[in-house]
Structure 1
């Protein structure tokens, strides 16, 4: 067992104890480690991994730090290292974030169920007071059966009491279900603590001892532990909102439907005013129409006309209506960049303020009707930035069923920031009526699709487990850094695709193929959708990139070729339309080819069906 025991890589005197620091990420373990060990710290590489563990001396004993984990398991190297260090530790100092007991005490109880002597440091008690909460520390200690010490580690409060308690650490009260079964497996392991992991079906520990318990208890133990912790929280935690700070009260208001929904609509209204009105109209009027559309366009066409015939094939490809050096930079730099930067600026503000997880909590019940939980709001919001990136983040959802539903809704009804910006620029001058028609149509399709998928797909949505960080004022430098990096990443991805799209359309136009395609789709475009046949050109452009298609609609609207009602019908079709090539590639990579084909074909059918019905009603 030496290859798994930290004593194999750390020099530990014969009579010394191994004191192991354990806790969730970001609970202040490093402060306790430094308080115990001072500056005499060594770092060793744990056998068979790339993970380093820090260790030092405290009064003749050895203190070992572990990676931050949410449970003792073996899903990755960090968790396996933490597990093995805990298994062979003599005393466990469990650091708990007192403001997030619901999350942290699950790990505490799991360590107690292992039969380890434990001391619990209830850290960040100052945050508890600021949030208007009170914790009955004595009752918590009694329920757990171990000493619990309130601390504010960064201020040194409670550190001395923790040090004194380490020599008297004791085993806590195991769950009843663990007590019932643990003796059945304890003879098949070397350490008492390993017996729990056999019951919890840890594959590494089972393989290590060539044994397997046949009761399939993992889910039962986890569920019992979760229910026990939830009940314990109700008994030991009380709140007095009169003593809470305004930020704490605001944070609570944000997650309560009566106050949270109006706050969310107000935030969305501010975003619309910032992006849809100020950026899409005022800023873009300057960047697209004046800087790029006039100064840049005149400069590049005058320069190139000296060397290239503007009416020739090369001239058309480079500086024609869809030219590589005319339309591409004008739309990318003049139209898309300001809109994308505006969106990412707003998103970064919500991220850094701590508002995003509160939106997830607020909409959890609503998303349950769509077969999702509140965590799905994160890829949904990211989808308004980039559907490609958002599709990848669906990995954080708890089941294959949820990932399929979320990917379908992302590909169908979530416009990316660039497309959203063009849409805002097109709809804003049309007035509130058409804005409401467009928004209600897309929202209705979003809700109906999710509801139907939730009904017909087997299984159910998982529960929401998410941290709510304290609300804070975002740091402008950090927000600007995020906005810059994300906007730059978008530009690197979008510009080549936009150029490919421009080249493709130019080639189709010059060869006459574009007219053939437009004619082929004319019955649907003119008949069912009641649109000018040239809108088919924008749809084709949208296959390369959705904002590219929206930009094509912008050209038709600016030329007066399509009316306000036709703009709305076109935008509904192109929003519900298939995502861009990059997003489709990622969808096929993340989902099976059958699921990806359903998402792709389904979006085509729903897009034209919805747009056609809308056309019959408003045109």
Structure 2
């Protein structure tokens, strides 16, 4: 077993694997960026949808791991972290100083593995702000490894970590746990594997064809006792009473105050992103820049090279061309939305608000087989369902990922589509707006609860860190926005290009027209809409807002408009989202979600037509 197997990491001969390890939200990304700079690669870990970042530090390789509370195998993130940590050469353990009692469990577990460790004791400013004094030197003596106090977001202590990185030391292994490992050390490749056997890790037990030891709880108990001993000796002074930030954090979690605050934040988010960016900014980037300047320029060049009117010209520069539709869609429409959403999400993450939203919504989402983490892709879905489908990777189990992907694909309108829908439904009055909202909400509830009942397995519980509330640092927010946006564009652009190629092929062969004709019985018979509405649904597959916008050309009554908008919202996702869905989920799951969306759109739309038309 090798941590880099399948990751395609080029490790030079004699290079060390420097592994970044820590609980969620402890600031590992700042250290990773400081060590690797901008030359960073992201690989999908074999057999999972978990991304692992890696880069160079001199001749050595730095590998970031998902945030975990312990080295085990309870979910994909922990399994990935385990496989990387077990075979690392130097472990840089980032610890949240304010939550040191929680974080030291992971630190001691890595030390028990016999790995060379250096500890970055991060967020020391929060410790001082709360009036707590930590004896850093005593902590280093008790652990037996270098401990460097840092405030990573301000750059404090990072140079000191770099200077001491290769002074990482094998710490003081718990003697009682070492006694448990002694029987296995000679039978495995590394001491780290011996610890995993003591802690009944199934993967390592299977590797060496061993039976479970039943000693996991005892080892965990001994480690927790050791954490309590260390904490009692290094905390010199407890802090003062609740600060304003602590009280604000409490109000964010209390449903009475937290829900109105969340509604206000989502409203601001919608106005800035769903209205201003999706409207004004996209009108400029897509309409003025891309369609006004870029597309005519490209068409002029292509026509000179290959001529006009032939299939090559239409494939490259036609209505759905690889060099026209794809760049316009990716850079004109999606890029502003993606940047805005990731900027907003980075603000909420850096301020400590995002984990509190997850905790606040956890109980409600549990009815749908999800935990609070799912609120992140669901919120992102109102910006771009394609982007949100990719972020379902952060959910703990395959079951949760299927449920979240289905809800995104079937019930969440993206911001581009939402803008068109809002423009069409606003003149109809409050009655029809309420019908639309309640119908979509009802489908969301029925879909979520049904999938929760029928899908096998169990969803994971929410274990999430609640970092202190703090003012976001601009440079950190911008770095996160840039990193996540560039990663999304790199991953999504080829899928958009493939989608454009497929649509061109369908159009050139006449299959697109055949599909439009096949839709007519549904649109006229079930939905009681004009037969031309079929074209709008087909265009919705290409781009969801194209489909909604196509309805504006039809003469519809108020009731027909609501039926059409409900159907187009529930209808299958755009082709880019479909391509990502097939990439993230199995073919069976993706096809099931696609067909479910198709059927539910016409069934719900047909029932609504019977009631109100």
TM-score category, normalised to shorter length: 0.5 to 0.7
What is the correspondence of 1:20-169 to structure 2 with a 5 Å cutoff?
Answer: 24=22, 70=68, 71=70, 82-83=85-86, 96-101=95-100, 104-111=103-110, 122-130=121-129, 132=130, 134=132, 152-153=149-150
Partners of 2:19 and 2:88 within 8 A in 1: no
Which deviates further from its counterpart, 116-125 or 449-458?
A: 116-125
Partners of 2:536 and 2:547 within 8 A in 1: yes
Deviation of residue 98 (structure 1)? 1.3
Q: What is the aligned partner in structure 2 of residue 46 from structure 1?
A: none
Deviation of residue 446 (structure 1)? 1.3
Q: What is the aligned partner in structure 2 of residue 38 from structure 1?
A: none
Larger Rg: 1
Deviation of residue 21 (structure 1)? 10
Structure 1 distance, partners of 2:481, 2:115, is 47
Could you tell me which runs of 5 or more consecutive residues in structure 1 were left unpaired when the two chains were aligned. 1-7, 12-19, 35-49, 57-63, 308-312
Could you tell me which runs of 5 or more consecutive residues in structure 2 were left unpaired when the two chains were aligned. 1-12, 35-53
Q: What is the aligned partner in structure 1 of residue 576 from structure 2?
A: 582
Q: What is the aligned partner in structure 1 of residue 197 from structure 2?
A: 198
Deviation readout 1:573-594 (Å, 9 max, x if unpaired): 1221122333333333433333
Deviation of residue 472 (structure 1)? 0.6
Deviation of residue 482 (structure 1)? 7.0
2:411 is the counterpart of 1:413? yes
Q: What is the aligned partner in structure 1 of residue 551 from structure 2?
A: 556
Pairing partner for 2:595 from 590, 598, 601? 601
What is the correspondence of 1:180-579 to structure 2 with a 5 Å cutoff?
Answer: 182=181, 185=184, 188=187, 195-201=194-200, 212-215=210-213, 220=217, 244=243, 246=245, 249-278=247-276, 324=319, 337=332, 341-342=336-337, 344-354=339-349, 355-468=353-466, 470-474=470-474, 497=499, 501=503, 514=513, 520-543=518-541, 545-547=542-544, 550-557=545-552, 559=553, 561-579=555-573
Q: What is the aligned partner in structure 2 of residue 15 from structure 1?
A: none
Structure 1 distance, partners of 2:494, 2:118, is 52
Deviation of residue 262 (structure 1)? 1.3
Question: The residue matched to 1:96 in structure 2 has which SS?
Answer: strand
CA 347–145 in structure 1, closer or farther in 2 if over 3 Å, else same = closer
Partners of 2:114 and 2:191 within 8 A in 1: yes
Deviation of residue 265 (structure 1)? 1.0
Deviation readout 1:541-589 (Å, 9 max, x if unpaired): 223x242xx42442432x4512333222212112211223333333334
Deviation readout 1:354-381 (Å, 9 max, x if unpaired): 2444332322222221111222223323
Deviation of residue 240 (structure 1)? 6.7
Partners of 1:391 and 1:587 within 8 A in 2: yes
Deviation of residue 421 (structure 1)? 3.2
Structure 2 distance, partners of 1:465, 1:365, is 13
Partners of 1:387 and 1:416 within 8 A in 2: yes
Structure 2 distance, partners of 1:346, 1:417, is 11
Partners of 1:118 and 1:170 within 8 A in 2: no
Deviation readout 1:220-275 (Å, 9 max, x if unpaired): 579768987999999999997855354x5444433432322212211221233334
Question: The residue matched to 2:319 in structure 1 has which SS?
Answer: coil
Deviation of residue 480 (structure 1)? 8.0
Instruction: Give the alignment's Cα RMSD to 1 decimal.
Output: 5.8
Structure 2 distance, partners of 1:83, 1:459, is 28
- Relative to the length of structure 1, the TM-score reads 0.66
Question: The residue matched to 2:403 in structure 1 has which SS?
Answer: helix
Partners of 1:274 and 1:342 within 8 A in 2: no
Q: What is the aligned partner in structure 1 of residue 45 from structure 2?
A: none
CA 203–486 in structure 1, closer or farther in 2 if over 3 Å, else same = closer
- Relative to the length of structure 2, the TM-score reads 0.66
Partners of 1:546 and 1:574 within 8 A in 2: no
